[in-house]
Structure 1
Amino acid sequence: MHTAEGSVSLEAIVETAVSELPLRIRRAQRTIINEGSAHVVVLLEDYAAVRVTRDSFTANKLRRRQQLVDSIPSDLGLTLPRSLGPVVEIEGHAAVATEFVSGAPCPAGEGEPEELQRLLEAVSSIDPGPLQSMLNEPLSFCGGANWYSVQIEEVIPRIDQQFRNLAREAIAALAHLEPEEQVFSHGDLGGYNVMWHRGQATGILDWDLSSMSDRSTDLASLGVWHGWEKLSKIAGADQVTRAGIRRNTFRLQQLGFLIIAHRPESEVSAAIGRANSWIAENLA
């Protein structure tokens, strides 16, 4: 099994997280199914999944994020990774064993507009009132209230000179986006964070970026994964325009996260390359 950053092994962290679970779960075959920039996810057959933070930056947030997931009403109509045990902490890492969420990600470019609309409405209709203390401020992962300063001072200087003006324009457009009605927002509603079965969305993972925002935040994520042309069938022209403004900064936001999280330079460099390529292909 791979080793998490630091001296403690991933295996030891998982053992701690599942130590109070039934024997059949503790003995289940373990498979690493995701190694993202913030977490490693270890699947225990179809019994459970253990989410392990890769560093203290994300470890400090896991407990509140899991509390949020556990507090979302069960009548949402979608399966969520609710807790099977407590959040545990060991040598700067945090981990939690959660319920198994069945299904598979929808292939990129697929997904019927009607189902995408149902998914979007299900999330945006979550009552944020009882959850306010567990929600992030918008763009918290890449600076929160200071996101613009992070972009201007840390991100833009790392972008290729030929693309910096375009990057500044994209950031300025987001900074000057007119306020609109705020609803519950997942923050990354697409790709491998949504499980599907037979053409229907059945579960949602990774609620780390949940906040109050307008509908264009989750709309943008859906468009990037399922096909931008589908958005006009599930939202009005103004919302699609707002979603496009958000989409134009996604690669820059991701780079900002890696910088302020002090991720390894290899990860930062790779993100710089992705941002440059995206700007060249979509904004230049």
Structure 2
Amino acid sequence: MQDVREALVDAALTRWPEYRWRESDLHRGAFHLVLTAPGGPSLRATLGRCGRERSRREANTLLTLESARLALTIPRVLDGPHWAESPRTWITSLTTVPGSPTDDLTTCSVPRLSAYAETLNTLRAASSTCGNSLPPVRAWCGGDQWPDIVQRDLIPRLEAPVGAVAAERVESLLETESHAVPMLCHGDFGPHNILWSEGKVASVIDFDHACIGDPALDIAPLISFHGASSVTSLGSPEEIQRAMLHRATLPLQVAAAAHLAGLGQLRDHALANFARRLAERTLFDPAGKTPS
């Protein structure tokens, strides 16, 4: 990791020499590396294949949300994406936004629920201003090809009974979400992507999965952190039911995205996660709750 950090620092200094990149912090996500300069911007670097396509899609999403005057503080694209020969990846410069991540990702207090609801309402209110400029639902893991990727490339890697359930979960989700009224969705709306200040939401980050889709999609990650019973105030009973169906397929979405990016270890980890949740009967909800 140190060699990668040094290569990213050198790439950042070449393009944006006015910032103190040598003092920067490096954070690793599932599909990106993020380098943050003290008092300066952040640099995002893609991991795996298809970096150009992914970086452009992610940058265009932020530009669309900025032009829509979204009533939230989110990162803005400063420059890029650009190819960095070393460490052979695509890099984009983004503004650093205020706030800090919470140390407690699982507690779901009344103030936190209220903050979630307010932020989700802000997103949904901006649905009409984004038009058709955002990527399609699940573009990050294959878009409308996602079911085929699961069937062709992922299910053969699962034991037969698990693979059959995976196919059933995908089919059920697609049928159920077709009845939802599409709205602006963050796509990975969890406490890990919300920055806080003095108990309030200061910023929202990581809009890589943003789309116009089923609003229950944004409740699904919250179920993973807090459980379905804790987030019932964030949607209608029908939305909570759909959110559990979304949650059941999240490992299959991560696995598909990792497969497309050539990140085999992450793909296999996600598939093992799906199989484990199935065995533990926690596909839909960490506490074992199931949709009716």
TM-score range, shorter chain: 0.7 to 0.9
1:79 is the counterpart of 2:77 = no
- Tell me the secondary structure at the aligned position of residue 258 of structure 2: helix
Partner of 1:12: 10
- In the alignment, the residues of structure 1 paired with residue 228 and residue 97 of structure 2 have an alpha-carbon distance, to the nearest angstrom, of 27
Q: Where do 1:92-171 residues align within 5 Å?
A: 92-106=88-102, 107-111=104-108, 112-130=112-130, 132-133=132-133, 135-171=134-170
Deviation at 1:237, TM superposition (A): 0.4
Q: Where do 1:249-264 residues align within 5 Å?
A: 249-263=249-263
- Tell me the secondary structure at the aligned position of residue 72 of structure 1: helix
1:37 is the counterpart of 2:30 = yes
What one-letter code is carried by the residue in structure 2 that aligns with 1:51? R
1:89 is the counterpart of 2:83 = yes
- In the alignment, the residues of structure 2 paired with residue 223 and residue 217 of structure 1 have an alpha-carbon distance, to the nearest angstrom, of 10
- In the alignment, the residues of structure 2 paired with residue 64 and residue 140 of structure 1 have an alpha-carbon distance, to the nearest angstrom, of 9
RMSD of aligned residue pairs (Cα, Å):
2.5
- In the alignment, the residues of structure 1 paired with residue 128 and residue 261 of structure 2 have an alpha-carbon distance, to the nearest angstrom, of 27
> Given the two structures, how large is their TM-score scaled by the length of structure 1?
0.86
- In the alignment, the residues of structure 2 paired with residue 45 and residue 130 of structure 1 have an alpha-carbon distance, to the nearest angstrom, of 33
Partner of 2:56: 63
What one-letter code is carried by the residue in structure 2 that aligns with 1:185? C
- Paired residues, what number? 275
- In the alignment, the residues of structure 1 paired with residue 131 and residue 59 of structure 2 have an alpha-carbon distance, to the nearest angstrom, of 12
Q: Where do 1:173-252 residues align within 5 Å?
A: 173-177=172-176, 178-252=178-252
- In the alignment, the residues of structure 1 paired with residue 273 and residue 59 of structure 2 have an alpha-carbon distance, to the nearest angstrom, of 30
Deviation at 1:54, TM superposition (A): 1.9
Bigger CA drift: 121-130 or 43-52? 121-130
> Given the two structures, how large is their TM-score scaled by the length of structure 2?
0.84
After superposition, the C-alpha distances for 1:167-202 in whole angstroms (9 at most, x for unaligned) are 222122112213221111111111422112232222
Residues 87 and 56 (structure 1), Cα distance of their counterparts in 2 relative to 1, 3 Å cut: same
Identity across matched positions, percent: 22
Deviation at 1:129, TM superposition (A): 4.0
Bigger CA drift: 64-73 or 152-161? 64-73
Deviation at 1:77, TM superposition (A): 4.0
Paired residues of 1:54 and 1:93 also in contact (CA < 8 A): yes
Paired residues of 1:190 and 1:222 also in contact (CA < 8 A): yes
Structure 2 unaligned residues grouped into runs of 5+: none
Deviation at 1:232, TM superposition (A): 1.1
What one-letter code is carried by the residue in structure 1 that aligns with 2:105? A
Paired residues of 2:186 and 2:209 also in contact (CA < 8 A): yes
